Amino acid sequence: MIFESLLDSAQTIFAFVVTLGILVSIHEFGHFWVARRCGVKVLRFSVGFGKSLWSRTDRHGTEYTVAVVPLGGYVKMLDEREGPVPSGEQHLSFNSKPVLSRIAIVAAGPVANFFLAIFALWLMYMVGVRTLMPQVGEVIPESPAAVAGLLPGDEIVAVNGTETPGWQAVNMELLAYLGESRSISFSVRSGEPGEVAEGAVRDKNLQVVDWLVSEEQPNPIRSLGIIPYSPEIPAVIGQLSPDGAATRDGMKSGDRVLAVGDEDIVGWMHFVEIIRDNPGKPLQLLIERGGNTENIQLTPGSRSSEGVTTGYIGAGVMQVTWPEGMIRHLQYGPVESIAKGAQATWSLTTMTLESLWKMVVGLVSVKNLSGPITIAKVAGASLESGLENFLYFLAMLSVSLGVLNLLPIPVLDGGHLLFYLVEMVRGKPLSEKVQTLGLKIGVTLVVGVMMLAMYNDLSRLFQ
């Protein structure tokens, strides 16, 4: 258990460093590439902060370095505001360039993040995406879905006119409407649960009012009363831990649990609940093995977490095969993948902007903000679950970084752009006093948001 925990932690850290390294490198390369083409001398290109772990200097005098703290990076340019500049190099300084050149250099970082998102999604669509057909398994009575007339077996073909080939697409489309009062149109095709839907497409309108306002962890699909279809998971033992209670008491892979004591077992989760509720207590199991029934006494182990003791036996469920046609493999050619990637990047950008605005006006809870701990955990999980999931996560994070950096807050790229746009209108820069005040306000806002994100991370970690 300790070894597995250490391995998971190492994988999480590795995924976090790789993800952040890619995002920062591309962002800073955008600044670097445009600065070079605008005739600005770049002194240092750093990925990370603090003490240098590796560095080299090119023929232009630019030092490339990888630093010890992988929480960002920077491009240092020749600038008279940051130190003396030799008279022969004043024309190479950032502050000597026309305002349009400075705007291009500053904007290039966030723009590079959008291009990275398009590239990641292009590659994802080229490799192919596996997704589950969005078929309704159950409809909760009196829910918006039930009132609208959705039925078990319905496939959700589109949401408000946007095609939804899988559950991820349904969820992403619904997230755009959090906090709103409106009608959400579902285009559905009738079918039987577990079978590919072949009925005629019909439209159903679901009404929501102040939908999931201030919800900390919104689940749009479930909140509408929709339970996605999944095949029945029988209580059949799959993998066994060599030192677990199941192995110790003689259970084998393939055993089907029929009953525990006098209680018939109706599925895997039913069996799991009984095990969890009986730590250290001997249980009489009726199992089916090789076509015959046998009785086994099983005593679950016990473990405690946050003062609660639960049982476990060190066994996993036998993998369940999904019905044919329920798992879709979406794959496109090089040209079509570019269009798909650009379209998905635009959707992520608009959703990010709308979510930020809804947080500001209180329609979406600020507890949805995430910091480095959550990002690291999601990065590790996405890398473990496959290339396509990691590429999508990378695209989402890259879009978020691009959007956040373009916000008109001094200290961010967007704040510098705001100063330069004002300079264009006025014909001269803002005074040093005004810029310094703006930077102080910007730093306060950014640090405040970072502390809130870290607080949310720690709250989730200890819940």
Query: CA 427 to CA 441: how far, in whole Å?
Result: 24
DSSP character string of 195-243: S---S-EEEEEEEESSTTTT-SS--HHHHTTEEE-------BEEEE-TT
Query: CA 303 to CA 76: how far, in whole Å?
Result: 52
To which residue do tokens 């360039």 refer?
Answer: 97
Q: Which of 398, 418, 423, 422 is nearest to 408 (CA)?
A: 418
Radius of gyration of the chain (CA): 28
Query: CA 237 to CA 318: how far, in whole Å?
Result: 5
| Count of H-run helices and E-run strands, the chain | 12, 18
Residue 382 contacts residue 15 (beta carbons within 8 Å): yes
| Annotation says 28 is catalytic | yes
CA angle 314, 319, 321 (to 5 degrees): 165
Q: Which of 45, 50, 46 is nearest to 68 (CA)?
A: 50
- Treating both helix axes as pointing N-terminal to C-terminal, what angle do 413-426 and 432-462 enclose, rounded to 10 degrees? 160
Q: If DSSP codes are grouped into helix, strand and coil, which group holds residue 237?
A: strand
Query: CA 297 to CA 265: how far, in whole Å?
Result: 16
Q: CA quadruple 183, 184, 186, 192: dihedral positive or negative?
A: negative
Q: Which tokens go with 455?
A: 């607080």
- Treating both helix axes as pointing N-terminal to C-terminal, what angle do 334-361 and 99-127 enclose, rounded to 10 degrees? 120
At 73, which helix (H) or strand (E)?
strand 63-77
Query: CA 318 to CA 190: how far, in whole Å?
Result: 30
Residue 7 CB contacts under 8 Å (≥ 6 apart), including other chains: none
Biggest distance spanned by C-alpha atoms of the chain: 92
Query: CA 352 to CA 398: how far, in whole Å?
Result: 11
Active-site residue, from 28, 155, 354, 388: 28
Residue 241 has phi, psi (to 5 degrees) of -80, 130
Residue 347 CB contacts under 8 Å (≥ 6 apart), including other chains: 172
Q: Which residues are part of the catalytic machinery?
A: 28
